[in-house]
Amino acid sequence: MFEFCVEPSQLQGLTWLSCYLTTGKHMAFYTSFGTVLLLLALTAPTALLFGFCGAVASRSAIAPLRWIGRTYVAMVRGVPDIVFFLFVPIALDQGFEYIRHMALCPEVTEPIRRGNDFVVCTAAKLPLNADPQWMHETYGFLLAVLSFAIVFGAFAGNTLRGAFEAVPKAQIETAQAYGMTSRQLFWRILLPQMWIYALPGLSNLWAILTKATPLLFLLGVEDIVYWARELGSMKTSAFSYPHPNWQLWYFLGLLVFYLLLTWVSDRAFARLMARFNLGQGRTGSDTAAAGVGR
């Protein structure tokens, strides 16, 4: 990074440290924090969408749709997360390649599944071998986002379904008495009211999602855990910047990062709770207490 970093062996003190912290690998380490934040930014709304669809489907009056929604929520919640994170990306990748193989290579008659091997034509590969490295990394990252969204969408679906059922039935009956249709009842009564019951569970789910981001390492994405382990491990004199095992300090930095992220998230959810509580009716005890105060 700096001009005086040409000969690392001749450096000492803060000069050595400034050169060490600005190497190409450290730049990749700093970028990986953005990778984690981007994963959260993309996964959270996608998982919420999956969860919303699952919750609505599980409450549907159409039996097949209700079975699909409940099966999705129950199946994903009943399997350990790490199993899904190892299985889903492979299944998605092979599913996409299978569809492309059938569309682009109809002349190939050999079976795709050959023992333990999954073989598709060259044109069906995702991404293609000739594609640049950034496309391979982007594809792997998007598979990770989709995998996280499927898993946490099931948990969100269970939370949202409970929130729908927590809306006071008196409000629903009143809306029906006023002649609201099922669609009006859903959009004007159920949906606005259920968020106040869903937010506590969704805030816990967000915390779990945040703590699950190191699983990116298992999916082949070079995340902050990968680089902390790589950079912090002992480097001998064969490296430009030799040092003892510094993994403790690198992982301490990750601890601070996740604590700050959790602190900011808690403040954001507290503001959301205050926002959704505006205009909510008081309970009888609260109203009586307010009357006594006057």
How far is the C-alpha of 49 from the C-alpha of 43, rounded, in Å? 10
Determine which helix (DSSP H) or strand (DSSP E) holds 10, and give its type and residue range.
none
Q: What is the pLDDT of residues 96-107, one digit of tens each?
A: 888 888 888 888
Would you place residue 250 in the very low, low, confident or very high pLDDT band (cuts 50, 70, 90)?
very high
pLDDT at 261: 92
Confidence band of 171 (pLDDT split at 50, 70, 90): confident
What is the reported pLDDT for 260?
94
What does the mean pLDDT of the chain come to? 83
Considering 16-25, 74-83, 190-199, 256-265, the range whose residues carry the highest mean pLDDT is 256-265
| Token duo for residue 189 | 């009564």
Average confidence (pLDDT) over 205-213: 88
Condensed to tens digits (0 to 9), the pLDDT of residues 31-63 reads: 989 989 999 999 999 999 999 998 888 888 888
Average pLDDT (175-181) is 84
Kindly write down the DSSP assignment for every residue of 127-150, as one continuous string. S-TTS-HHHHHHHHHHHHHHHHHH
CATH number of 23-233+240-275: 1.10.3720.10
- Percent of the residues in the chain that have a pLDDT greater than 90, as a whole number: 15
On whether the pTM is more than 0.85, the answer is: no
Average pLDDT of span 142-158: 88
User: What's the rounded Cα separation, in Å, for the pair 212 and 47?
Assistant: 14
Name every residue whose Cβ is closer than 8 Å to that of residue 251 and which is 6 or more positions away in sequence. 228, 232
Query: Which of residues 156 and 294 earns the better pLDDT score?
Result: 156
Predicted local distance difference test score (pLDDT) of residue 3: 67
Greatest extent of the chain over all pairs of C-alpha atoms, in Å: 84
Q: Which residue has the higher pLDDT, 138 or 292?
A: 138
Q: Which residues contact 50 (CB under 8 A, 6 or more apart)?
A: 149, 150, 153, 154, 156, 157
Give the ranges where the chain is alpha helix by DSSP (H): 13-20, 24-58, 63-77, 81-104, 133-166, 169-177, 182-185, 191-212, 224-232, 247-277, 284-293
End-to-end CA distance of the chain: 68
| Mean pLDDT value across residues 230-239 | 85
pLDDT bucket at 294, cuts 50 / 70 / 90: very low
Average pLDDT rounded to a whole number, residues 221-228: 85
